[in-house]
């Protein structure tokens, strides 16, 4: 799929991978809709893209765990566009603690953001994609959605396992509509999340952390080639599987 002139909605677009992906796709000529909770950070990304392209992207302040926010987001997009071509579900959170140390509220929040929020966005925006008769949905999961090498990521992994299973089924559901579904499963990325871990949470060794610009380029490649599943770095999956066998 060509990116130029495509209408692309990106959640979690105010920082990290979402921001980097939005900037990258803007450079390729995409018309971006930035979605995130922070209006201040959204404005900063909007200004950055405007400086690059001369065209301000649409911004939507939205908490994807709130269904009323999702409805408002769709209304805002409909005011500007009669369809969308690409949806990138990038918004996500993580908590690396053993299950008995995670509060029930934290556990629910992991699933609300990582799974239910993505589901809400897809369900709400599908009519705008079906209207065009083609499109591409990219869900950002994690390597930990395929393998659980460490005991302290059980709840986070469960939320990402759910997203992987949903994405595989959704791909079959939407095939007849000409809508592809991609699943991006990276290891740790050098986003602000890495600096926000609390005491007691697992710290990722620097040599295992991927540069965010590289991750964004992989997403662009997935879109242009309509790829289904990408695991990166590839060597990390067998590495983690080996760890899991002996843990």
Q: Where are the beta strands (DSSP E) in 84-124?
A: 86-89
What pLDDT band is residue 233 in, cutting at 50, 70 and 90? Answer: confident
Cβ-based neighbours of 137, under 8 Å, separated by 6 or more: 86, 87, 89, 122, 129, 170, 174, 179, 180, 181, 182
Say what the pLDDT of residue 209 is: 87
Range of the domain at 237: 7-245
What is the C-alpha separation between 67 and 73, in angstroms, rounded? Answer: 10
Could you tell me the two tokens for 3?
A: 């990116």
Q: Stretch 218-228: mean pLDDT, rounded?
A: 97
Q: How many helices (H) and strands (E) does the chain have?
A: 8, 7
State how many domains the chain has: 1
In this predicted structure, the answer to whether residue 148 has a pLDDT above a threshold of 70 is yes
| Tokens (6 digits) for 146 | 């395929």
How far apart, in Å, are the Cα atoms of 82 and each of 73, 130, 131?
Answer: 14, 11, 8
Whether 210 is covered by a domain: the verdict is yes
Quote the pLDDT of residue 26: 98
Output b/e per residue, 114-129; b: 16+ Cβ within 10 A.
Answer: bbbbbbbbbebbbebb
Supply the mean pLDDT for the chain: 93
pLDDT tens for 185-194 read 998 898 765 5
Q: What angle do CA 84, 81, 48 make, to 5 degrees?
A: 85
- The answer on pLDDT for 197 being more than 60 is no
Q: Can you say how many angstroms the Cα of residue 81 is from the centroid of all Cα atoms in its chain?
A: 22
pLDDT of residue 196: 55
Is 20 part of any domain?
yes
Residue 61 lies in a domain: yes
Q: Which residues participate in catalysis according to the annotation?
A: 156
d(CA 183, CA 160): 11
In a domain, 149, yes or no: yes
Please report which confidence band the pLDDT of residue 199 belongs to, taking 50, 70 and 90 as the band edges: low
User: What is the per-residue pLDDT across 77-133, written as a single tens digit (0 to 9) for each?
Assistant: 999 999 999 999 999 999 999 999 999 999 999 999 999 999 999 999 999 999 888
CA angle 154, 156, 161 (to 5 degrees): 85
| Residue 176 lies inside a defined structural domain of this protein | yes
Confidence of residue 9 (pLDDT cuts 50, 70, 90): very high
Does any domain span residue 51?
Answer: yes
Instruction: Read off the CATH number of the domain in which 17 is found.
Output: 3.40.50.720
Distance CA 129, CA 193 (A): 31
In this structure, is residue 108 part of a structural domain? yes
Q: How far apart are CA 43 and CA 92, in angstroms?
A: 20
Residue 195 has pLDDT above 60, yes or no: no
pLDDT tens-digit map of 30-61? 999 999 999 999 999 999 999 999 999 999 99
Residue 181 lies in a domain: yes
Considering only residues 243 and 166, tell me which one the structure prediction assigns the higher pLDDT: 166
At residue 190, the pLDDT reads: 85
Q: Map tokens 């591409």 to a residue.
A: 136
Average pLDDT, stretch 156-168?
97
């Amino acid at each position: 799929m060509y990116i130029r002139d495509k209408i692309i909605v990106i959640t979690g677009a105010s920082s990290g991978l979402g921001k980097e992906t939005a900037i990258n796709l803007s450079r390729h000529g995409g018309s971006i809709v930035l979605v995130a909770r922070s209006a201040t950070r959204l404005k900063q990304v909007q200004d950055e893209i405007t400086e690059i392209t001369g065209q301000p992207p649409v911004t939507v302040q939205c908490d994807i765990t709130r269904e009323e926010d999702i409805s408002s987001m769709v209304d805002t997009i409909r005011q500007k566009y009669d369809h969308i071509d690409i949806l990138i579900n990038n918004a996500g959170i993580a908590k690396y603690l053993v299950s008995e140390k995670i509060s029930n509220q934290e556990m629910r929040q992991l699933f609300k953001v990582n799974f239910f929020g993505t589901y809400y966005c897809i369900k709400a925006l599908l009519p705008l994609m079906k209207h065009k008769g083609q499109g591409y949905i990219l869900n950002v999961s994690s390597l930990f959605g395929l393998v659980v090498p460490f005991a302290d990521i059980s709840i986070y992994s469960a939320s990402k396992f759910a997203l992987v299973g949903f994405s595989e089924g959704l791909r079959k559901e939407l095939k007849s509509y000409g809508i592809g579904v991609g699943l991006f499963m990276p290891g740790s990325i050098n986003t602000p999340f890495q600096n926000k871990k609390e005491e007691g949470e697992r710290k990722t060794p620097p040599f295992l952390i991927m540069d965010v610009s590289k991750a964004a380029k992989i997403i662009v490649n997935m879109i242009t080639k309509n790829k289904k599943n990408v695991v990166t770095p590839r060597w990390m999956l067998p590495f983690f599987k080996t760890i899991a066998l002996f843990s």
